Amino acid sequence: MPATASSLQKIVSQLATHYGKPGPPITTDPFELVLLESVAYLVSDERREEAFKALRRHAGTKPHEILSASDERILKATKLGGMHPEQRISRLREIALIAMNEFGGDLWQALKLPLPKAKQALRKFPSIGEPSAEKILLFTRSYPVLGLDSNGLRVLLRLGFGKEKKSYTATYRAVKEAIGDQLKKDYDWLTSTHILLRRHGKELCKTSAPLCEKCPVRKSCAYLRSQVSKPSR
Ligand code: SF4
């Protein structure tokens, strides 16, 4: 049976049983969430959080603190976050400047704008596209929207929600439309769903060679069914 429009909540609860209920995000502050995206590059979530905590410790995470901190202090954080740590010093300063110039140092006001404008405001920052903007709006409890990272998107596509399109943006919107009428408008549930789908995509439903034999939601998976029904050569 394909993953139907009524099965997402069941799938999420199966993932929660398998991985355990996720803890809260490391931060729910909008500016810190923007910094978190840029403090590290191509590293594990644990490493990214380590770099972020070092930034808090050595430089601070308010726009004026980032702007006044020395390169040396910021480097203590960015060097924990993967390759090209010097480039990320400039990136973090650029982010702080945008926060000061466009938002007077306080992003919370922008999150009170109507949803499309709030997303547009967040997308003024480098590395923040629609998915990250939605994640920030969710984690700050500004709007009950499910932002999906690339892992979560892949998992939902394989489960049968939406179809792959020519562009990432079009695929993202197709998946969001497919799940739209079955999302709970509940911040805790949406936040857990974001975290669980991401974790599943990273640990079992990997880009290449997903570990389907270990998957707790394999019975609902369209991708797995299509693999099993392929004629053998
Ligand atoms: S069965 Fe395989 S492809 Fe389907 S969700 Fe699980 S890991 Fe991903």
pLDDT in tens, 121-174: 999 999 899 999 999 999 999 999 999 999 999 999 999 999 999 999 999 999
Probe target for ligand 1 pocket from 12, 151, 205, with the most ligand atoms within 8 Å of CB = 205
Atom 1 of ligand 1: nearest residue by CA position? 218
Which tens digits make up the pLDDT trace of 3-61?
454 499 999 999 999 999 999 999 999 999 999 999 999 899 999 999 999 999 999 99
CB-defined site of ligand 1, < 6 Å: 155, 158-159, 204-205, 210-212, 215, 217-218, 221, 223-224
The tens digit of pLDDT for each residue in 170-228 reads 999 999 999 988 999 999 999 999 999 999 999 999 999 999 999 999 999 999 998 87
pTM here? 0.91
Minimal-distance CA residue to ligand 1 atom 2 = 212
Mutation choice for ligand 1 from 203, 211, 218, CB with most ligand atoms inside 8 A: 218
d(CA 3, CA 219): 9
